[in-house]
Amino acid sequence: MLVLSGKEVATKVRSEVQQECTRFKQETGHTPCLAVVLVGDDPASATYVASKGKACEEMGFDHRDYRFPADITEDTVVQLVEQLNADPLVDGILVQLPLPAHIHEKRVTNSIRGDKDVDGLHPVNIGRLLLGDPSFVACTPAGVMKILDHYQIETAGKEVVVVGRSNIVGKPMAALMIQKGRDATVTVCHSRTADVGAHTRKADILVAALGKPLAITADMVKQGAVVIDVGINRVEDASRKRGYRLVGDVDYESVAPLCSAITPVPGGIGLMTIAMLMENTLLAAKMHV
């Protein structure tokens, strides 16, 4: 059983992006810049934003953080996004999700200019992805594909099952897998699927992105499958100093012995997400000079 190390692949991607960023700055005099907008005080979101800022600093990018209290108005957030759209020094804009319930997520993400949408959520980028045209691809699915490529895991002709249909993971994941050159046969399962296990047991490649800890169990996975665990969930654990531990959507201990390859949690796809965000931001910068 092969453990697909997100740390190994993310380190490689970040090194390549850092080298390319250095060359780009020398040739153009422009430093790629990522602007991140955080609304509210969700601890997980704050941690992600801090990690993105740290990655920018390590890789030679500029970054700007904009933090608002949870009761900020939707119009205020949209106005900031429009200001960032017009700022020639800002290449990528990311609004950290989830947003408070009174703010319409779609209005905010749709207000980001398509060529600054480094999270790959704008309708223009989703449409280009479905058409097979170059686009910004949501960072987590892009990271999954990067890991599969790194470990030379073939997708052509394979049965791929994606569990989860979110706009940020499940839907773009399915769209990537059916592109020419990837050529997988894709099934998408979701909360209304009658028997998820009946589908996952057929999967040559299983992508778990449902946001429920340890939901994929050994009886749902066929022998020799490649399992990609996108989930990052906190579960209480009194034996840990911080009172919790991180687990995926897959019950790793029971599933791993069945697999030909599997991503761990932590140390898997989560590390790829920020690496791909930096790659997207550099691509955006190249479009703006």
Backbone angles phi, psi at 45, to 5 degrees: -65, -40
* Residue 119 annotated as catalytic: yes
Active-site entry in 52, 146, 158, 171 = 52
Cα→Cα distances 88→55, 67, 83, 107, 280, Å: 22, 21, 10, 22, 17
**In which residue are the tokens 């046969």 written?**
185
Question: Among candidates 24, 21, 249, which has minimal Cα distance to 140?
Answer: 249
How would you class 1 by CB atoms within 10 Å of its CB: exposed for 0-12, middle for 13-18, buried for 19 or more?
A: exposed
* Residue 96 annotated as catalytic: yes
Active-site entry in 119, 204, 229, 251 = 119
C-beta separation of 98 from 105 below 8 A: yes
| Two tokens, residue 210 | 């449902």
Question: Among candidates 147, 156, 166, which has minimal Cα distance to 267?
Answer: 147
**Rounded to an integer, what distance in angstroms lies between the CA atom of residue 173 and that of residue 141?**
5
Question: Among candidates 101, 53, 105, 108, which has minimal Cα distance to 81?
Answer: 108
**In which residue are the tokens 């200001």 written?**
83
C-beta separation of 90 from 64 below 8 A: yes
Q: Which residues are catalytic?
A: 52, 96, 119
